[in-house]
Structure 1
Amino acid sequence: MTLHIRPGLFTLALCASAAIVPTVQADVAEQCQTVRFSDPGWTDIGVTNALTSTVLEGLGYQTEVKLLAVPIGFQALTTNEIDVFLGNWMPAQQGFFDEYRDGFDQLGANLEGAKFTLAVPQFVQDAGVESFADLAAYGDEFDHQIYGIEPGAPANESIQSMIDSDDFGLNDWELVESSEQAMLNQVGRQVRGDNFIVFLAWEPHPMNIRFDLAYLSGGDDYFGANYGGATVYTLTRKGYSDDCANVGQLLANLEFGLDMESGIMGTVLSGDADADTAARDYLKQHPEVLAGWLDGVETVDGEPGLPAVRAALGL
């Protein structure tokens, strides 16, 4: 597992001694002074982690992000190795949710209206591939491959199950597992060459702006209705909001938007800024989102949270 300490912090998380963090109020429990996030390596979760961490740091907390595949992240919640997972896409992660249900708390939705299913370039749909049931007829054009994301992702498991069960006549097809960025690089290459490709796609994500893509119908049994219509929830380790009520209040307040996430993700993926910088810039440009997020939230010193975060952002 890789541990990433957010840049700009003046101390190493978890290894910091009490003498190094004198600004933290004595009655803030030690286990609450550093908030630990899980990130599956997805740009959208990198962005939401960065937004939340920017706010927390403005309140006087420290943050850590651990890069963990989805199943490992669920396990880490149950063993108290992380505190927060902002990327519980449902129903795509229903299996892991059910398996580890007794080991975490679900605070509520942080994003509504998301989509997550297979997609093709628009010119492929125009050629006749409109649904999952159309794929097999064009197997040679697709090289009998479906491009997924990182190994262990629930969506990959859904694709593999579809192949194994020979649904839609895809039993001789191959799931190509790779990172999100590697998958999108392959999509870009295929699109530039006017070649067929079918791949996992989702919104929010700047791929919806970068590519003229079309979501495939007919995958309800594997990705859910409405093109894998999804809601993204915030999970915490069991009892976290009781142990760390102030942070728990912030997490319960968090609501992100499709345009918000896609815009910030576009900045990150274009190389114009890293997630931390892009998140900070967004909050400086859209400070109106802070009032709702910080309703009832204080700094570690017990002061009102909103003015403290605004000051930290230079507003």
Structure 2
Amino acid sequence: MLSVTLILILTACNGGSGDQQESQDSDEQEKKSISIGLDPYDYATVPAYLSKEILEQEGYQVEIMEGEVGVLYEALSNEDIEAFIDVWSPNLHSTYLKEYKDDFEVAGTLYSDMPNGVAVPTYMEDVNSIEDLKQHKEKFDETIYAIEPGSGTAQTTERMVETYDMQDFEIQNSSTAAMMTQVQREIDNNNGIVFNAWRPHPMFVRFDIKFLDDPKNSWKDDDVQIGVTDDLKEQSPTAHTLFSNMELTLDMVEEWQISLDSEEKSAEELAETWVKENQDKVDKWLEK
């Protein structure tokens, strides 16, 4: 009886040690280095740098890789980066999704039904629809201000011009910052201007502007998602869990963007502060 009891005790102890060792081995085997793709839009710094801060607390080494949208889709498909945090689906990035949709998976959705389109100052009371632009084209110097060529927004602007038979208009592409500088200049002079607009962006806080109605549905609301490599869940489950659960609000993102400008704080500092003040939410994203 004594021998049997000792054997059972030893077996139980060894079993417990084995389970603990298995857990340790699993943690050690997790790949804890990751590259996150960041395109050139202020709102995208929020999920990028929040992810970096949170994963570094979990022992990860995180690199933010900056690039244009098309470059980042290609990098994700080639597994040169593990995650791209600004996938607009199904409309705005439709060209890239058609080309690369089989090369990555969607881990989660940051926010749904994001409005985007073209806007004008609210003092332009006679212009409330995209169809009104042709009738008042002289007020806009026959120009539509748009962001970088190759972006989903710029591509949709080109399709909008065709759909509404607005070939008299020239599309003036530039960086987002340059476009917003032009918006500021024209509004200060009470001039007409039509330009790319979307949320999240502090333009709707800084300026008194309005989206134009789009009766021909050139612009459609999108979900903003996180694309990851097919093997991320297996190789880096902590990162995959975070990307699956992270959700943001428009107000939070736009407050972040305003802080970047007005308080001269870096994205890293804002991320660190936000994580400290919202640890309960972070734990929920990590399913702790």
The alignment's TM-score, normalised by the length of structure 2, stands at 0.86
Supply the distance in 2 between the matched residues of 1:73 and 1:153 (Cα, whole angstroms).
11
- The Cα offsets for residues 59-103 of structure 1, whole Å up to 9 and x where unpaired, read as 111211122111111111111111111111122112211211111
Alignment-mate amino acid for residue 95 of structure 1: T
Which residue of 2 is the match for residue 17 of structure 1? none
SS at the partner of 1:222? coil
Percent sequence identity over matched residues? 27
2:88 aligned with 1:92, yes or no? no
SS at the partner of 2:213? coil
Supply the distance in 1 between the matched residues of 2:27 and 2:227 (Cα, whole angstroms).
27
Which aligned segments of 4 or more residues in structure 1 are displaced greater than 6 angstroms? none
Alignment-mate amino acid for residue 206 of structure 1: P
Match of 2:266 among 248, 267, 274: 274
1:27 positional shift: 2.2
Which residue of 1 is the match for residue 238 of structure 2? 246
Which residue of 2 is the match for residue 261 of structure 1? 253
When residues 218 and 273 of structure 1 are mapped into structure 2, their CA distance, relative to the original with a 3 A threshold, is same
Q: CA RMSD in A?
A: 1.7
Match of 2:228 among 236, 258, 271: 236
User: How many residues of Structure 1 are paired with residues of Structure 2 in the alignment?
Assistant: 262
Which residue of 2 is the match for residue 147 of structure 1? 145
Cα pair 2:35 2:81 within 8 Å, conserved: yes
Which residue of 1 is the match for residue 28 of structure 2? 27
When residues 28 and 145 of structure 1 are mapped into structure 2, their CA distance, relative to the original with a 3 A threshold, is farther
SS at the partner of 1:38? strand
Cα pair 1:135 1:168 within 8 Å, conserved: no
Cα pair 2:238 2:286 within 8 Å, conserved: no
Structure showing greater Rg:
2
SS at the partner of 2:81? coil
* Aligned residue runs from structure 1 range 1-315, under 5 A: 27-29=28-30, 32-90=31-89, 91-124=91-124, 126=125, 128-163=126-161, 165=162, 167-218=163-214, 221-224=217-220, 229-270=221-262, 272-296=264-288
Gaps of 5+ in 2: 1-25
Higher helix share: 2
SS at the partner of 2:49? helix
SS at the partner of 1:223? coil
- The Cα offsets for residues 150-188 of structure 1, whole Å up to 9 and x where unpaired, read as 12101111111232x3x3231021111111111111111
The alignment's TM-score, normalised by the length of structure 1, stands at 0.79
Supply the distance in 1 between the matched residues of 2:160 and 2:201 (Cα, whole angstroms).
25
